[in-house]
Amino acid sequence: MTEDEPGVARPDPAELARAWADLAARSQRLAAGFLERQSSGGAGAPEADPLNVAPAFQELASRMMADPAGLARAQAALWDDYAALWRTAASRMLGGAPAPVAEPEAGDRRFKDPAWAENPVFDTIRQSYLLTARWLLDTVRDVDGLDARTARKVDFHTRQFVDAMSPSNFAATNPEVLRATAESGGRNLVDGLGNLLDDLERGKGRLSVRTTDMEAFRVGENVATAPGKTVFRNELMELVQYAPATEAVRKRPLLIVPPWINKFYILDLREKNSFIRWAVAQGLTVFVVSWVNPDGKLAEKTFEDYMAEGPLAALDAIEAATGEREVNAVGYCIGGTLMAATLAWMAARGDDRVKSATFLTTMVDFEEAGDLGVFVDEAQIGALEERMREDGYLDGAEMAATFSAMRANDLIWSFVVNNYLLGKDPFPFDLLYWNADSTRMPAAMHGFYLRKMYLENLLVEPGGIELAGEPIDLRRISVPSFILSTREDHIAPWKSTWRATRLYKGPTRFCLAGSGHIAGVVNPPADPPKYGYWVNNRKAASAEKWLEAAEYREGSWWPEWRAWLARHAGPEVPARVPGEGALPALEDAPGSYVKVRAGA
């Protein structure tokens, strides 16, 4: 690089030519592969309306046309807002300091660069976008006559459009990108195009936005490192028993059933935030189910199989390994949904081996499923089942893309700006590495789960679902339950998870943690504390009433849970060493299944 004037760089022509030649060759290969897939109708061929969005917006348009007065009022409101913006922009150009007409919401990091506020031009661009975005969202939300499902779908996809159109996402209207371009002589855009091609190549023609340095972490080396042994294995799971950290442990072992949508090591990322290490340090014998990353050979595995080969098989294995028949169980997300269904099945069979249950961000009533409900209707499930028939599973990338879309500004657009416009590599971050380490879904199980729970909400109906010959009823669950939700959860909305307190027969303790689906759960005791939580021991008529009377406490919810679990953990006994019971150690933790990547 050479510089003619301060802050303006000129790229080396030979270096730039070599870069462009490499990019052109890679682009040509990608284009050829795309055209081949299009002509063959294989993976990557477009679907007309895979998210079944058109009917919702057709209904919206019809309702809006039927109310021209309402549309006129909305247009007038937008005009008034723009008139106010023009007045403040003119005042600022003349040296005034008027208050902004529109401000980003707290936590909106798209406009964090100082130039968005300090430069009058970019400030006007920013406010214009915020006004238009607010107007568009308010307009579609105010349309009368839409049913709840259609209104939710319209709102979600309108938000997706609004987020995509942010001026921060375009080089010409992002001051940080313009500054980087001037300072590097455009090298940031060349590097950004290289990053874009890398992501397209890794996704085999589908854009797979890289959110972290995927080479910075190794499962079993610098993540998922809690010491232990794999002591049992079947087609669907490995059971990991962790080495004790105390000379004595509580009598009843702890069984953790994580979601199979992601891998279990979210509970064992690093030493300082590992829930598993912390639980072991509390004197618990901890067992964790490590689900297989299934391929087409397991296409016919059902939800019933996940119950039989998951928690039920784990209970048998724990008894063989420790001699203990009774356990305490923890279920996280869909692992908690499975645990609830299993407990109802066990109640029908008179099986009382589980003495307490902890549910982490777990939905069992799917009536108000939040943004995930947008992706579940008959047309979308039918199309998904058709795609799964080809390979026998749902590719993990599809589920990951769905979750990312629910937090598009944080998990998509911020990385588009960083990687493609600024030409930077993403920062190594263990949580985002885990997030990108996606898992597949067997076709039979996933279709059942989406239809019976999300679409038909049959899990809350007595006898609505039958598993292994037993019509199950969640109202028969009589064990004490600790139910943890997180206030900003976009996957399992807390007001939906709270409904379980009205279902289970046994005593329930509901705890609401700060933050979201992951950060609210993985929130170890720390000084200073990161997030707090709310508790309320009294029954309430609604989630809102519960929160109104709840007590806020600083710090991690983990000690609160430990105190609750102590009442159900039994007396102390000598610590158990993995592999010294009737089940020999098969290999070191974290085992083999967790290391299988979806792209492998």
Average pLDDT over residues 242-265: 97
Cβ atoms of 500 and 244 closer than 8 Å: no
Residue 24 has pLDDT above 70, yes or no: no
Work out whether strand 441-442 and strand 393-394 pair parallel, antiparallel, or are unpaired: antiparallel
How far is it, in rounded angstroms, from Cα 45 to Cα 424? 30
Question: pLDDT for 39-86, tens place per residue?
Answer: 555 444 456 677 888 888 999 999 988 888 988 998 999 999 999 999
Residue with the larger pLDDT of the pair 23 and 132: 132
Cβ atoms of 396 and 440 closer than 8 Å: yes
In sign, the C-alpha dihedral spanning 72, 75, 76, 77 is positive
Residue 203, both tokens = 């996704």
The predicted pLDDT at position 562 comes to 98
At 373, the pLDDT band (50, 70, 90 cuts) reads confident
Class of residue 367 by CB neighbours under 10 A (exposed 0-12, middle 13-18, buried 19+):
exposed
In sign, the C-alpha dihedral spanning 183, 186, 192, 194 is negative
Residue reference for tokens 């890398």: 198
Class of residue 14 by CB neighbours under 10 A (exposed 0-12, middle 13-18, buried 19+):
exposed
Q: pTM above 0.85?
A: yes
Average pLDDT, the chain: 91
Class of residue 235 by CB neighbours under 10 A (exposed 0-12, middle 13-18, buried 19+):
exposed
> Residue 230 CB: number of other CB atoms within 10 A?
23
At 120, the pLDDT band (50, 70, 90 cuts) reads very high
The predicted pLDDT at position 303 comes to 97
| C-alpha torsion angle, residues 332, 443, 385, 366 (rounded to 10) | -20
Average pLDDT over residues 557-574: 97
Cβ atoms of 168 and 417 closer than 8 Å: yes
Q: Which of 522, 410, 491 is nearest to 108 (CA)?
A: 410
Q: Among 1-5, 166-170, 510-514, name the one with the lowest average pLDDT.
A: 1-5
How far is it, in rounded angstroms, from Cα 284 to Cα 281? 7
| C-alpha torsion angle, residues 86, 89, 90, 95 (rounded to 10) | 160
Class of residue 477 by CB neighbours under 10 A (exposed 0-12, middle 13-18, buried 19+):
buried
DSSP 8-state code for residue 522 = S
The predicted pLDDT at position 202 comes to 82
Crossing angle (nearest 10°) for helices 148-164 and 54-65: 100
Cβ atoms of 224 and 433 closer than 8 Å: no
Residue 573 has pLDDT above 70, yes or no: yes
Residue 326, both tokens = 């009774």
The predicted pLDDT at position 44 comes to 47
Residue 32 has pLDDT above 80, yes or no: no
Tell me the sheet residues that pair with 241. 229, 287
Cβ atoms of 211 and 436 closer than 8 Å: yes
Question: pLDDT for 462-513, tens place per residue?
Answer: 999 999 999 999 999 999 999 999 999 999 999 999 999 999 999 999 999 9
- Positions marked active-site: 333
In sign, the C-alpha dihedral spanning 297, 300, 303, 305 is negative
The predicted pLDDT at position 107 comes to 84
Residue with the larger pLDDT of the pair 14 and 89: 89
At 293, the pLDDT band (50, 70, 90 cuts) reads very high
